[in-house]
Amino acid sequence: MSDNTELYQSLILDHNRSPRNHGAPAVVDRVADGRNPMCGDQLRVWVTLDGDRVADVRFAGKGCAISQASASLMTVAVKGKTRAEADAMFDRFHDMVTGKPADEAATAALGKLVVFGGVSRFPARVKCASLGWHAMRAALHADPAAAPAVSTE
């Protein structure tokens, strides 16, 4: 458990300090905004599709370390996946942070994202950890040129 906590903390710190895939893409394909009023987190997520595949996924915004680190790790996890695979990852991640029981294969498929499993014990933090994922899913299914907004409220 303490190993897990250390891994969790160092990954969060790393991705919060040096967010991956951060900032707007040169050409906007699909975009969505996410807001978590409870904590004040705000994220914008851009998804660039190449056919059915996520060619690029980027984010920007402000908020607590968990929201920023989770969005950063989300971009790394989802980049290169098909739309169906990205949806499946959303479902697995969401099940994990909301404390739903998962089978071993589903947990293994999450890879590093399992560091967020601990937030299921802190309901207010679930929204921070899942905000980037909600925005990603909204962007993934958005019409190009539309910019839907999702709120965890």
Contact residues: Zn ion, CB under 5 A: 39, 41, 64, 67, 128
CB of 66 to Zn ion, least distance (A): 6
Looking at the Cβ atoms of 54 and 71, the one nearer to Zn ion is 71
Nearest-approach distance from CB 94 to Zn ion, in angstroms: 16
CB of 108 to Zn ion, least distance (A): 27
**Closer residue to Zn ion in complex, CB, 49/69:** 69
For residue 65 the two structure tokens come to 């370390």
Residue 49 or 115 with smaller CB distance to Zn ion: 115
Closest approach, Cβ 111 to Zn ion, in A, equals: 22
Nearest residue (CB) to Zn ion, 37 versus 144: 37
